[in-house]
């Protein structure tokens, strides 16, 4: 079985032949049709992701495909079911065995490409905005990195939740994609001053930040009293260091958010959130943006798109038809 794997620490990932196996009692075996790439895959390659497995392991945090075998204790799925799986690892392979608790049934209206790319991006944005930040109708949401894999979903979901959305991204093409996703106002990150632009629009009540660095600090200074800042990640390469006394002056909350962590301490929150996202997908209220679909032998090209920030929305690897 082909798999895109890291064999030992420090080695570059590559396509390898991996032994196949039967599912354990609580697992399902999936013939993988498509896998979504994420920034976390790059961190795993570098060994800096918080959940990097010990080598050897196969990359791929999320995938979709057909159930081809079920473990003896599994009663939620049957052979032939179409599923989306939050793998954690193992999605970039021709097949894989995964805990049944990490899989959800795909509605017929949802393609495998979308099924392989919605859980982390849409799941992150919905749970972060609805549960962690308690975004309310009529509030102003500032989304940094608004055309990226998670940022674009935050624009969509924020708009669905009734917020006024300010999208910040680099370049007219990315800003136009954010506008089509529902953004009310656009800020060009390289040529406009984020702090001044946001304050001129009335300030931010909630900030969604997968970028970090200077953009975080600019957004922080543009927050309204009692604003909530969601720290999603640091794609810009720098972890910001805000001064805590400034938090006190405006009563601002900085909220750390790691979507996958809910599996270990509150899985029902994650499950309920995904159910809402799937409902919206089936109803056509969300329009997933996939900027590239590449064949299995071009995984490296897909990772380079993420590495160089050339993607808008998601990059999907097509494993099989």
The pLDDT tens digits along the chain (321 residues) read 999 999 988 889 999 999 999 999 999 999 999 999 999 999 999 988 888 999 999 999 999 999 999 999 999 999 999 999 999 999 999 999 999 999 999 999 899 999 999 999 999 999 999 999 999 999 999 999 999 889 999 999 999 999 999 999 999 999 999 999 999 999 999 999 999 999 999 999 999 999 999 999 999 999 999 999 999 999 888 999 998 888 899 999 999 999 989 988 998 999 899 989 999 998 999 989 999 999 999 999 999 999 998 888 899 999 987
Residue among 33, 6, 43 at smallest CA distance from 293:
33
Q: Number of C-alpha atoms within 13 angstroms, CB side, residue 294?
A: 18
First to last CA, the chain: 16
State the fold for domain 2-118+288-318: Quinone Oxidoreductase; Chain A, domain 1 (3.90.180)
Burial class (CB in 10 A: 0-12, 13-18, 19+), 137: exposed
| pTM metric for this prediction | 0.89
According to CATH, the superfamily of the domain at 125-259 is: NAD(P)-binding Rossmann-like Domain (3.40.50.720)
Domain boundaries of the chain, sorted by first residue: 2-118+288-318, 125-259
Q: Helices marked H in 47-192 — which ranges?
A: 112-115, 119-126, 151-160, 172-180
């Amino acid at each position: 079985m082909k798999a895109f794997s890291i064999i030992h620490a420090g080695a570059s990932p590559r396509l390898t032949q991996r032994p196949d196996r039967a599912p354990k009692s609580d697992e399902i075996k999936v013939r993988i049709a498509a896998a979504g790439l994420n920034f976390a895959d790059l961190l795993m390659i570098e060994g800096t992701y918080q959940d990097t497995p010990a080598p050897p392991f196969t990359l791929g945090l999320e995938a979709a495909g057909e159930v081809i075998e079920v473990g003896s204790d599994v009663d939620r799925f049957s052979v032939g079911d179409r599923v989306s799986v939050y793998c954690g690892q193992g999605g970039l392979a021709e097949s894989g065995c995964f805990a049944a608790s990490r899989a959800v049934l795909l509605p017929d209206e949802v393609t495998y490409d979308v099924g392989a790319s919605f859980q982390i991006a849409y799941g992150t944005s919905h749970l972060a905005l609805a549960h962690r930040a308690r975004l309310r109708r009529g509030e102003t949401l500032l989304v940094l990195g608004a055309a990226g894999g998670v940022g674009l979903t935050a624009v969509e979901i924020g708009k669905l939740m009734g917020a006024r959305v300010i999208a910040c991204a680099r370049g007219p093409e990315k800003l136009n994609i954010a506008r089509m996703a529902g953004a009310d106002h656009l800020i060009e990150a390289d040529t406009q001053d984020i702090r001044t632009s946001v304050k001129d629009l009335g300030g931010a009540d909630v900030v969604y930040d997968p970028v970090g660095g200077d953009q975080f600090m600019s957004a922080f200074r543009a927050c309204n009293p009692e604003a909530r800042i969601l720290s999603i990640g640091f794609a810009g390469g720098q972890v910001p260091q805000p001064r805590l006394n400034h938090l006190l002056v405006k009563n601002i909350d900085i909220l750390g958010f790691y979507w996958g962590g809910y599996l270990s301490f509150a899985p029902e929150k994650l499950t309920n959130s995904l159910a809402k996202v799937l409902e919206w997908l089936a109803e056509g209220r969300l329009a997933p943006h996939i900027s590239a679909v590449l064949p299995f032998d071009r995984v490296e090209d897909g990772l380079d798109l993420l590495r160089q920030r050339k993607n808008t929305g998601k990059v999907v690897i097509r494993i099989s038809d």
